[in-house]
Every structure is written in structure tokens, then in C-alpha cells.
Structure 1
Amino acid sequence: MFVSRPFVYTYSALIYLPFTAFSMDLRTILIIFLLPYAFLSDARQEKHFLRYEFTAFFKPSTFTAFKAVGVCDHRQIAHYSNDERVWIRSSVNNWINAPEAPPDSRDWFLHQLNSLSNCTDSQCFEPHVLQRVIGCELEKSPEGTVSLRAFDEYGFDGEDFMFFNSDTQQWIDKNLKAKETKMKWDQQTERNKLLHHYLKTCMNWISSFNNTKKNSPVVRVFARKAPDDHSKLNLICLATGFYPRDIEMNIRLDESVLVNQTSSGIRPNDDGSFQMRTSVKIDANHNGIYDCLVKHSNLTQARPIKTVYHQILSAESQQWSLIMGIKVTAAVVIFLLLIGYCIYRKIQML
């Protein structure tokens, strides 16, 4: 499996994800280009990353495709234009000083795919794909501990292939197919020095990177009738406007997390912040106190958890309870009147 570590959830066009069932027809390729990959982490950690992501693939007897993007903190900051054969930076001021793309060119990357696939530019009888992600990342724990990491990793035909050890300036093969390539690349000392310098520059930049956009989530809890079952309510927790991206949300009853919750996943807002929606079905006739428990890195250490309480009792239940209360009261009054009338009659007959 290509992915050996958690990756950031993004809708970039890179195919940097596991290929457990690798099919290379054109439709599958296009679908894979649009899939997200998940990030599993502590929502109270502050994280920043910069990565450049490359993908090239052959489709038998037709074409070679190349796609490359630069992503910083879940936002695309650059993309490679195949028409102009240049990198085009996005107009995002926060990342204007981010390191440019790594020194290897598009033609170099396609040449590696040719070599690994034993194909030529005009002829290839089997589908093949070469992937690369290079960059750096920073994680800061709630206690203030900072960890840095730089990486340059390759995958070939959906499997881990090789990665670069920047400290030793040597390539580490992760696949039997990579041994010959490792020997060749280890001998390219000048290129390895350039990569070492690039990764060091990346870590220096991200260490000093100051992203001033930090917003706490705005949280709402509300209920809607379940369309398929009128005895149920969909209880929904919505958190929006938060940045950084990572967040944890759980709907609870009496401080116990409810099971069978569904989530929209973390989605971008137009202003660059994020939103997430979690929902769960509950009994419409149950009168209880529910809360939405939210954890986010921008909530202060003194108050790391933001809780929003909401009491749910369906209008139908309230109306039914009122009607039943009136009926019971009326029945009691009538019963007492009957008893009083009977007593009155007996007294009259004496």
C-alpha cells in the first residue's frame, strides 16, 4: 500500500492515496483524481505543511498524462500548466514566500516513468502510474512541543517505491522493483545535494511560517423531522468558520457519546475557513438534554472544549402531552362531579 502515514484531507488533483484495487481505465483515473485522502490527528494540535504533489500515468496506446500541484495548509497555492510548461502560483499572500517547486522538471519525471515502465513516449502496452510527494510539515502539540519533518516519497503502480533520507542523502527502497533505481539515484550526488538543500529550506520556512488566520468554531445544534420515520428526529450539530482545519465533534446525551452518528466530513467555506456537520437520529418523544462536544486547536488551554447544550422535545410530543393532560384532567373532573352527584342524590333520598 502506497500510503504509509496519515495524509491531509484535500480535494487536490493528486492521486496520492492507496491503490488497493488498482484499475487504470480512463474513467477510473479521472475518478481517482477527485478522491480525497484522510488525515487522522489530534484536533487540538496546530499543524502546517507544504507539499508539492506529482502524478504521471500511461494509458495503453493513447497518451501520457502529467499533473502537479503545490498545496499549503489544505489550500492549493500552485499548479503546473502543461500548456505553458511552467508552474503558476496562486495569488495567496500568506504563502508568497513559500519555497518554489523542487528542482526536478516535468520531462525528468516523465523520463523516470518511461524507464520504470519500459515504455517509450509513443508506445506502452500496460498502464503505469508514478507518484511523488515532496515537502515538509510542522506539528505543535497543545503543550507547545514542536516536531518537524521533511519528506520526498515515491509510489509506483499503487505501491510504496522509495523515499529520500535527507540526513544521509541516500535513497531508501521500499519495493524490490526499486533497488535498481535506488542504485542509480544514490550516484546522482549533485541532485541529492539539491534535494537536501530544498528540504532544509522548506523546514526553515515552515518553522518561521506565521499563519495569522485562526478562528474558533461557531457551533449550533438543531433538530429536523426524519423524513423516513416521523417518530424520529435528526439532531444536527453544525460547526463553521473555524481555522485551522482539524476538529473533533460528538453529539452526546447525558455526557455519553451517541452511536450511529453520521458526518459530512470537513468542508471548505468560501472565506477560507471550514465547516463540519454531524447528525444522529433520536426518539422524537424523548425529552432530554443533548450537547455537541467540540475540540479545536484555537480553543484556549483554559477552555479546550466548547460545549453547546440544546433541549429537544418535538412539537408533536408537546401537543400530544398537552392534549393528554387536558383529557386526563377533564376525566378526573367529570368523575368527581359524578361522585358528587351520586352523593347528592343519596342525601336527597334520605
Structure 2
Amino acid sequence: MFHALSFKTIFFIELAIVWLISHSSLSDALQERHHLHHMITSMTKGHSFNFSHLGLCDDGKISHYCNEVEAWIRKILIVDDSTKAFADSHDYRDWYKYELYELSNCTDSQCSDHVLQRITGCKLDKLPDGSVNLTVFDEYGFDGEDLISFNYDTMQWIDKNPKAKETKKKWDRQTGYNQFLQSYLKTCTEWISTFNNTNKSSPDVHVSVSKSPDDESKLVLTCLATGFYPRDVQMNIRLNRIHLENQTSSGIRPNDDETFQMRISVKIDRNHEGSYDCLVTHSSLIEPVTVIWDRTCIDCEIWIVIAGVAVLVLVLVLVLALFGFFIFKRKRRNGRVRNSSSYGTVDDQIQMASSADEIRS
């Protein structure tokens, strides 16, 4: 879970970890899933102490602090922020520094390179039957190894490293954490709800068709929805408003601008005359979007054009060959006429030859 690497690369590693955790079931688009993560890294490097905090809500960055920049960047989405959906953890740098030094057995004047990391947050799942599952998690790592984590079911800390024995005893005695946990459950839900309601983007839907690579009688109809937020979306390709079976999906994938995209495809009969469309349902839409296939096939038309061009080139080659043949025949015939007119008739040529013999004698 945790990696003891350089301070500048730690953010990218943590982002990859969170992305993999939150997208472990991308193919299940019918289940609405949200998450809030806070990733905190404290690091000693010689005599220096570095601290950073990165907050994410459904993969969108909502907060960022790094003491190398000495600036707290926060995307404020709640006008009345009395709920404190997440704490300004940079105000607790001294606490993380103390815990890191205690685990490392070092002081300000003498300390080697060590890293203490924390990933905390909540996950919210809205199931198809309307029920909601909400869980929180809090995990710590030290020098690239799992250290200690909180078990929400037992309300106890679990030590995962011999160095966490004393930490577990100390933290288990802190009853205030349970109160914090209950408050966090409430504020986490409010924050996710607020973030998703204020950061919505409607999908841009496109329908296209291409030739089937393995069956000339089939076409592949593809529906692409992109630029939508939040990530949960439902898509279906239909024939005469009936959902088709055997649809394949790319799963929900992130775009560079913190929005998402999804692509579904299905093979259809090339000669079927029914009406095909793509139906997309998303929370940003007042009503579902339907895009109808206009019966065009760019891939198919390209091959028709290529075939037409090939036939045209062949015709031109044949015409040029015939034209060249007639010219050649004409030149040969003209050459014979010129030779005959230059030397006269056969009798003239015999007479010219006799005169030449008389002159030589």
C-alpha cells in the first residue's frame, strides 16, 4: 500500500493507488460509487522535515498543501463551511512530525531519512435496490511498509508492523477518535453530495459504425459518451427501442480534464432496416439522451471510394494502352510510306543500280 520513495514522486504514487482502489469495478456502471480520500505524507531528510496533503473527491483534486510551496490550495465548494468536510491537516504538522520522530527514534539534530504516510477517507456505494453502504478507512504506512489501520467494524486499531505495538495501545486509549469517526461519516457524505451536485458535466454522445473485422455480413456499432461528471453513467445500444444483448464495454475511464468517458459496442446485421440508437442516462441530465444512427458507415464508404478509384485507374490505364498502341501502329505505317517515296518504284531502283555499275566500269 505504501512506498518509501522520494518526496516529489510520492503524490503520483498515491494517486495511482487511489485510482486503482476506486476503479476496481469499473465495469459495474449501474452501481453508483463515490469516495473521498486524504493522503498525507511527512518525511525527514537529514535535518529537514517535509509535509504534504492531497485531498481527492471522486478523483477530482479538492485540496493540496506542500510545505515546499507554503501555500494551501483548496477548492471551496460549500459557502457555509461550518461542517468542515475535511480538516486543514497542515495545521497538524507538528503532530505528524512527533509521530514520525517517535517511530524513527530520532531528533531534530540527528535523524536519517524516514517517511510516514496516511490515507484516510470514506467510500459510499449506492446499490441498484436503493440501499446505501458507507464505510470509512484510516491507514498508516512507515518507510514503505503497512504500519497500522483502523477497523470500522470492531472500532479498534490493527497493528500490521512490530513498530506499531505501542502506537496501537496509545491510540486505542484515545476515545475521542470514535467521536471523530461518527462526525466524519456525516461530513463525508455531505461533502461527496455537495461536490457532485456542484461539479456536474453532461456527456457528449457520438454513434459510429465500422466494418466487422471477422464477418462481412456484420457491422460494429459503437456509442461513445465523454466529458461527463460524476463518473456513474448508464449506456445502452437499442434496436427499435429494445436493448441489444452481447454489448461490450470499455468501462468508465478518466479524461485528462477530470471528466470521464465510456464506450460500448455491439455487432449488428449489415442489411437490417431497423432503427438503432444509443441511450445514455446520467445525473447531469434532466432526461436521458438518445442519439440515432443515421445509417452512414465511414469505414464502409472508404472502401467503396477505394474500389471506385481502383476501377477508374484501371480504365485509364487501358485507355492509355490502347491509345499508345494505335499511335505505334500509325508510326510504323507512316515509316513504310516514307521509305517507298524516297527510293521510287522497283523499276527505278533497278535502273539506278545499272547506271551505277556502268559508271564503275
Normalised to the residue count of structure 1, the TM-score between the two structures is 0.60
- 1:150 corresponds, among 136, 143, 146, to 136
Tell whether 2:24 aligns with 1:40. yes
Tell whether 2:255 aligns with 1:267. yes
- 1:318 corresponds, among 304, 307, 319, to 304
Aligned 1:327-342 pairs, distance under 5 A: none
Give the letter for the 1:121 counterpart: D
Tell whether 2:64 aligns with 1:79. yes
Give the letter for the 1:32 counterpart: I
String of CA shifts for 1:216-238, please: whole Å, max 9, x gaps: 522224589xxxxxxxxxx9864
Q: Look up the match of 2:35.
A: 49
- 1:106 corresponds, among 85, 93, 106, to 93
- 1:219 corresponds, among 202, 205, 227, to 205
- Provide the aligned C-alpha RMSD in A: 4.8
Give the letter for the 1:106 counterpart: R
Tell whether 2:186 aligns with 1:204. yes
Report if aligned partners of 1:241, 1:275 keep a CA contact under 8 Å in 2.
yes
C-alpha distance in structure 2 between counterparts of 1:123 and 1:292, whole Å: 68
Q: Secondary structure at the match of 1:93?
A: coil
Tell whether 2:10 aligns with 1:24. no
Shift in Å, 1:256 = 5.0
CA separation of 1:79 and 1:27: change in aligned 2, threshold 3 A: closer
Shift in Å, 1:183 = 1.8
- 2:104 corresponds, among 98, 101, 117, to 117
Q: Look up the match of 1:63.
A: 48
Q: Secondary structure at the match of 1:212?
A: helix
Report if aligned partners of 1:44, 1:296 keep a CA contact under 8 Å in 2.
no
Larger radius of gyration: 2
Give the letter for the 1:155 counterpart: G
CA separation of 1:322 and 1:288: change in aligned 2, threshold 3 A: farther
Report if aligned partners of 1:246, 1:296 keep a CA contact under 8 Å in 2.
no
CA separation of 1:288 and 1:311: change in aligned 2, threshold 3 A: farther
Q: Look up the match of 1:137.
A: 123
Q: Look up the match of 1:231.
A: none
Shift in Å, 1:207 = 4.2
Shift in Å, 1:117 = 2.1
CA separation of 1:327 and 1:132: change in aligned 2, threshold 3 A: closer
Tell whether 2:172 aligns with 1:186. yes
- Identity score, percent: 37
Give the letter for the 1:202 counterpart: Y
Query: What stretches of structure 2 of length at least 5 have no aligned partner?
Result: 211-220, 238-243, 316-361
Tell whether 2:161 aligns with 1:175. yes
Normalised to the residue count of structure 2, the TM-score between the two structures is 0.59
- 1:92 corresponds, among 68, 77, 80, to 77
Shift in Å, 1:128 = 2.6
Report if aligned partners of 1:172, 1:182 keep a CA contact under 8 Å in 2.
yes
C-alpha distance in structure 2 between counterparts of 1:23 and 1:81, whole Å: 18
CA separation of 1:204 and 1:23: change in aligned 2, threshold 3 A: closer
Q: Look up the match of 1:347.
A: none
C-alpha distance in structure 1 between counterparts of 2:78 and 2:225, whole Å: 26
Report if aligned partners of 2:235, 2:280 keep a CA contact under 8 Å in 1.
yes
C-alpha distance in structure 1 between counterparts of 2:235 and 2:141, whole Å: 34
Report if aligned partners of 1:48, 1:206 keep a CA contact under 8 Å in 2.
no
C-alpha distance in structure 1 between counterparts of 2:11 and 2:183, whole Å: 34
Q: Look up the match of 1:14.
A: none
CA separation of 1:317 and 1:165: change in aligned 2, threshold 3 A: closer
Q: Secondary structure at the match of 1:143?
A: coil
CA separation of 1:199 and 1:308: change in aligned 2, threshold 3 A: farther
C-alpha distance in structure 1 between counterparts of 2:11 and 2:185, whole Å: 33
C-alpha distance in structure 2 between counterparts of 1:185 and 1:240, whole Å: 45
Query: What stretches of structure 1 of length at least 5 have no aligned partner?
Result: 3-18, 225-234, 281-286, 330-350
> As a proportion of its length, which structure holds more helix?
2
CA separation of 1:178 and 1:212: change in aligned 2, threshold 3 A: same
